A and B are shown apart, each in its own frame.
Chain A
Amino acid sequence: MSSWIDAFTVIAVSAGAFFFLAGTVGLLRFPDTLTRLHALTKADNLGLGLVVLGLLPRVDGVPDALMLLAIWLLALLGGGTASQLIAQSARRSRERR
């Protein structure tokens, strides 16, 4: 049983790390603000989500698991809002030009 859990954790966290890597590459390589933001949200949403998912079976107790989930949801909320604000400001500065 525990080896299945180990395998699940390894796969989920590795997939999360892959999305972080892909998001970072996108952030460095994509041509403009909006596409770079798009790359960044992949790391935030999917990457962190998969890492949290992989760690869930390893915490002791439901409160700790809920805390991990809350961290992911808060990161989603914060990241999503910040992306919207940056995108808005990028669009405005492009219109002004």
Chain B
Amino acid sequence: MIEVLNAGVALLVVGLALWTVVVRDTFAAAIGFVAYGLLLTLVWVQLRGIDVALTEAAIGGGLTGFLLIRAAARLRHTEAAARTERPRAALRLAAALVSCLLSAAIALAVLALPDPAPSLAPQVAASIAATGVGNPITAVLLAFRATDTLLEAIVLLFALIGVWSLAPDRAWGGRPGPRYSADPDGMFAYLARVLPPIGIVVGAYIFWIGADLPGGKFQGATLLAAMWLLTVMAGLADAPPVSRRWLRVALVAGPVVFIAIGALGVATAGAFLAYPEAVAKSLIIVIELALLPSLAVTLALLVAGAPQREEG
């Protein structure tokens, strides 16, 4: 019975992925991508990757989906013009050929993987106790593969700088996005008043529980960012000008603490991002606590977009 359900979900995922690529309307493709993200969440749950499922739902489906929908809405008025242009047959044939070759190469690479796949899992499982963290995913992300996590946090900052660089000169350092206004007695403003207290508690919970159970800073930060954006989009609060000092400090504080603790590891534990065993768990908590607000602000500002209005 469960196999039938699994096969059904797998077929749906592949079908939806194909549809998202093939469909010509950008907006429909963005919606398809969100639905695809939610289905993928189900797949991860079924594979018992709850951490990945949470991240997929929060960032893959939710945040990225939101960004894509906004982009699609923005492109709408140019889309009709773009659709009248059809590239020449030779060009389309070449594109199809290159795509097929690339897919074949990837398929070959996957098929050529050794079986069983090379794995460090036994060594990692044997050493997890040394980190003092109960959730193996958190232990791997912050102890054994801390470099990846650090680079992830930094790459988000670079993405934000990329978004900001799209600002017109006069709005540089100003407030991102339009000033939203909604009926102050309407449903949306009501939601923006009722939901944030709940969302903040759930976000903090998911963050804190990440030490021992599925959860963590990325998922928690996404929820916090969403709550902030909700109040901004309902017109209850305005996005701050991106030139504010506190904002810049909040953005870089997490990565700076991470790098500082990592550098400390050179002196105390013999390698960059190595933690002395006695305080490993405390250091991991400090890094997570420092990254949470930075990630929340970074993700919220990524969605809020480029500065559009002069400071005022």
A residues in contact (CB < 8 Å) with B: 74, 77-78, 80-81, 84-85
Q: In this assembly, does B180 line the interface, its C-beta being within 8 Å of a C-beta of chain A? A: no
Among residues of A, the one whose C-beta sits closest to the C-beta of B192 is A81
Stretch of B28-36, B183-191, B243-251 lying at the A interface: B183-191
Q: Known pairs A77-B194, A84-B187. 14 more at Cβ < 8 A? A: A74-B198, A77-B191, A77-B195, A78-B191, A78-B195, A80-B187, A81-B187, A81-B188, A81-B190, A81-B191, A84-B186, A84-B188, A85-B187, A85-B188
Min CB distance B12 to A, Å, is: 13
What 0/1 readout, one digit per residue, does chain B (171-204) give for beta carbons within 8 Å of chain A? 0000000000000001110110011001000000
Min CB distance B217 to A, Å, is: 21
The CA of A81 and the CA of B190, in the complex, are separated in Å by 9
Summed over the interface, the residue pairs from A and B with CB atoms below 8 Å come to a total of 16
* 7 nearest CB pairs, A to B: A84-B187, A81-B191, A81-B187, A85-B188, A85-B187, A81-B188, A77-B194
Report A-chain residues with C-beta under 8 Å of the C-beta of B188.
81, 84-85
Report A-chain residues with C-beta under 8 Å of the C-beta of B190.
81
Min CB distance B146 to A, Å, is: 32
Chain B: residues with Cβ within 8 Å of the partner, total of 8
The CA of A85 and the CA of B198, in the complex, are separated in Å by 21
Q: Chain B interface mostly helix, strand, loop or mixed?
A: helix
B residues in contact (CB < 8 Å) with A: 186-188, 190-191, 194-195, 198
Min CB distance A59 to B, Å, is: 16
Min CB distance A57 to B, Å, is: 22
The CA of A81 and the CA of B191, in the complex, are separated in Å by 7
Among residues of A, the one whose C-beta sits closest to the C-beta of B198 is A74
The CA of A74 and the CA of B197, in the complex, are separated in Å by 12
Among residues of B, the one whose C-beta sits closest to the C-beta of A87 is B187
Min CB distance A48 to B, Å, is: 14
The CA of A56 and the CA of B123, in the complex, are separated in Å by 40
Min CB distance A8 to B, Å, is: 20
Min CB distance A21 to B, Å, is: 14
Report B-chain residues with C-beta under 8 Å of the C-beta of A78.
191, 195
The CA of A81 and the CA of B186, in the complex, are separated in Å by 10
Among residues of A, the one whose C-beta sits closest to the C-beta of B191 is A81
Instruction: List 16 A-B residue pairs with CB atoms under 8 Å apart, sorted by A's residue number.
Output: A74-B198, A77-B191, A77-B194, A77-B195, A78-B191, A78-B195, A80-B187, A81-B187, A81-B188, A81-B190, A81-B191, A84-B186, A84-B187, A84-B188, A85-B187, A85-B188
Report B-chain residues with C-beta under 8 Å of the C-beta of A80.
187
Min CB distance A32 to B, Å, is: 19
Among residues of B, the one whose C-beta sits closest to the C-beta of A74 is B198
Report B-chain residues with C-beta under 8 Å of the C-beta of A77.
191, 194-195
Q: Which among B186, B190, B191, B198 has the greatest number of chain A C-beta atoms within 10 A?
A: B191
The CA of A81 and the CA of B182, in the complex, are separated in Å by 13
Report A-chain residues with C-beta under 8 Å of the C-beta of B195.
77-78
Min CB distance B9 to A, Å, is: 15
Min CB distance A82 to B, Å, is: 9
